[in-house]
Structure 1
């Protein structure tokens, strides 16, 4: 029977991902089967999880997914020895309004699955106050259990002793304390961590993190704190309809933001996925019945995309007779032009009138609930889609027919409506699940 734990923290940037990867690799090195999940809408961490464990990781999200979908997804950990769910942001951070089964907070997943929480605490600039923060998180919500804490970025032995004493007095277990160790820091980018496939040394980096964690954290104590867990049969599967039977999927460094559960759902429904690389100047497979351009970092490759005539002409030809859909970065590439961070304007596919710019950056972040005003691949008019938006581009023009009425998590209508023109559609949000 597997055991489950949630890795969380009071805030972002404290070291959740590093601890998750290090624990996963350290236990794997001991011969254990380790399964990871990511709580919340994150495209990047699951790839790091897979690199650490050798097993595919998926997202679970209480705002966008119902309990049956979450149970179905975590069921893949049934044959593991230990299951780790990495949280997002702070433990209780979510949106103000409840979604399908929660607010999107990591605490929802911890309570739903009955898994205790290991907190990563960064006591920089404080000492005993770190214990007050941990105690507050422990007592904030009755259904969430705290297993203990790992201290990160401890300044000195004296500093560690002060924090440990305070935590012990509060009745909170300390599994270990990590001194500052820059060598295991993971590189970052404006949307989060640099993707695992972009780092040739990722295996060595995770191995070093595992070695470091094993020196400073009681791995046996952490493992013993996990809750034995018997996966419950899911009443339903994944609430995702494939966009077609044979899907040409853009897949390379510019188009890599695809939720793993989406691809699983498409394949489970019988769809065939045919990847192609716009950066390699490849066109979508002519035998496909739909083309899907996911998000990624097209702004970093805009000049190359603009110069790749085979890709652009092939995409235009495909869209003459068959649907093409783009999410976020893919949506931008379907547009007329993209201006990069240096102010250089690059011509895109021109299937939509959308024009975007990174020269004037503005963050767009949050859950999205869209009601389709026009059909898109796999979904008819009136379908209600749940997703998440996170980008820094500014809309310069969005002249086409709106694809949907889009609300944020508070119910407020937003301007990023998506677009439709002919067979081309696009949205700024990434689809997570359908409302059914």
Structure 2
């Protein structure tokens, strides 16, 4: 029977990902099978989980997914020895309005699955106050159980002793303390960590993190704190409709993101997926009946994409007779032009009139609920789609017919409506699930 544990923290940037990867690799090195998940919509961490464990990781999200979908996804951990769910932001941080099965908070997943929480606490500039924070998190919600704490970025042995004593007085177990001067870090860029597939040394980085954490943390005690878990029947499986029978999927460093559960759902429904690389000037498979351009980092490769006329001409020819859909970065490439951070405009495919710019960056972040005004691949007009938007581009022009009425998690209407023209459609949000 697998043992389940949630890795969380009071806030972002405290060290959840590093600890998750280190524990996963250390236990794997001991011969245990470890299955990871990511709570929330962050699309980068699952690839790091897979690099650490050798098993594909997926997102589980209480705002966008119903309980049956979450049960189906976590069911892949049934044959594992250890199941780790890495949280997002702080333990109780979600949106104000409840979604399908919660607010998107990590605490929702911990309570839903009955897995205790291992907190990563950064006591920098604190001592006893760190114990007060941990005790507050422990007591905030009755259905969430605290396993204990790992301290990160501890300044000195004296500092560690003060915090440990305070936590002991509060009845909270401390599994270890990571010294500040030896912090392990992973490369970052403007949307978060540099993605795992772009890092040739990711394996050695995770190995180093595992050695470091194993030296300073009692990983056997952490394992004992995990809860025995029996997966529940998954019901009807994933709530995912493929956009077509044969899908041409753009896949390279510029188009690197699509939620893993979406691809699994497409394949489970019988769809065939063929990949092509716009950066290598490739065109979509001529046998495909739909083309999908995921998000990624087109702004870092805009010059190459603009120069790759075979790709652009091939995509235009494909769109004359068959649907093409782009998400976020893919949406930008379907547009007329993309201005990079240096203020240089690059011509894109022109299937839509969208003009975007990174010259004046502005963060767009949050859940999205879209009601389609017209069909898009895999979904009919009137469908309610749940997704997540995260980018720094600014819309200069969005002249085409809106694809949807889009609301944020508070219910407010937003300007990023998506677009449609001919067989081309696009959205700034990344699709997670459809309301049924």
Q: Please state which band the TM-score falls in when normalised by the shorter chain.
A: over 0.9
Report Cα offsets for 1:406-431 as digits up to 9, x if no partner: 00001111100000000000000000
Mapped partners of 1:182, 1:23: distance in 2: 17
Report Cα offsets for 1:40-95 as digits up to 9, x if no partner: 00111000000000000000000000000000000000000000000000000000
Corresponding residue SS for 2:183: helix
Mapped partners of 1:199, 1:156: distance in 2: 32
Match of 1:343 in 2: 343
Within 5 A, what are the aligned runs for 1:156-175? 156-175=156-175
Pair 181,79 (structure 1): closer, same or farther in 2 beyond 3 Å: farther
User: Is the CA contact 2:176–2:216 (under 8 Å) kept in the aligned structure 1?
Assistant: yes
Q: What is the Cα deviation at residue 182 of structure 1?
A: 5.1
Corresponding residue SS for 1:266: helix
Structure 2 unmatched runs, 5+: none
Q: What is the Cα deviation at residue 184 of structure 1?
A: 2.0
Corresponding residue SS for 1:158: helix
Corresponding residue SS for 1:362: coil
Mapped partners of 1:31, 1:239: distance in 2: 34
Report Cα offsets for 1:316-349 as digits up to 9, x if no partner: 0000000000000000000000000110100000
Q: What is the Cα deviation at residue 234 of structure 1?
A: 1.3
Moved more, 183-192 or 135-144: 183-192
Mapped partners of 2:102, 2:145: distance in 1: 17
User: Is the CA contact 2:153–2:183 (under 8 Å) kept in the aligned structure 1?
Assistant: no
Q: What is the Cα deviation at residue 398 of structure 1?
A: 0.1
Report Cα offsets for 1:166-193 as digits up to 9, x if no partner: 0000000000000025562011111110
Match of 1:196 in 2: 196
Q: What is the Cα deviation at residue 235 of structure 1?
A: 1.8
Match of 2:252 in 1: 252
Mapped partners of 1:253, 1:106: distance in 2: 29
Report Cα offsets for 1:289-329 as digits up to 9, x if no partner: 00000000000000000000110000000000000000000
Mapped partners of 1:96, 1:294: distance in 2: 28
Q: What is the Cα deviation at residue 238 of structure 1?
A: 1.1
Mapped partners of 1:127, 1:181: distance in 2: 18
User: Is the CA contact 2:401–2:419 (under 8 Å) kept in the aligned structure 1?
Assistant: yes
Report Cα offsets for 1:79-123 as digits up to 9, x if no partner: 000000000000000000000000000000000000000000000
Mapped partners of 1:298, 1:330: distance in 2: 8
Report Cα offsets for 1:335-394 as digits up to 9, x if no partner: 000000110100000000000000011111100000000110011100000000000000
User: Is the CA contact 2:9–2:89 (under 8 Å) kept in the aligned structure 1?
Assistant: yes
Corresponding residue SS for 1:263: helix
Mapped partners of 2:155, 2:175: distance in 1: 17
Pair 209,293 (structure 1): closer, same or farther in 2 beyond 3 Å: same
Q: What is the Cα deviation at residue 236 of structure 1?
A: 2.3
Mapped partners of 1:10, 1:167: distance in 2: 15
Mapped partners of 1:341, 1:272: distance in 2: 37
Q: What is the Cα deviation at residue 240 of structure 1?
A: 1.2
TM-score, scaled relative to structure 1: 0.99
Structure 1 unmatched runs, 5+: none
Mapped partners of 1:390, 1:221: distance in 2: 37
Corresponding residue SS for 2:147: strand
Pair 181,237 (structure 1): closer, same or farther in 2 beyond 3 Å: farther
Moved more, 12-21 or 230-239: 230-239
Superposed CA RMSD: 0.6
Mapped partners of 1:329, 1:162: distance in 2: 48
TM-score, scaled relative to structure 2: 0.99
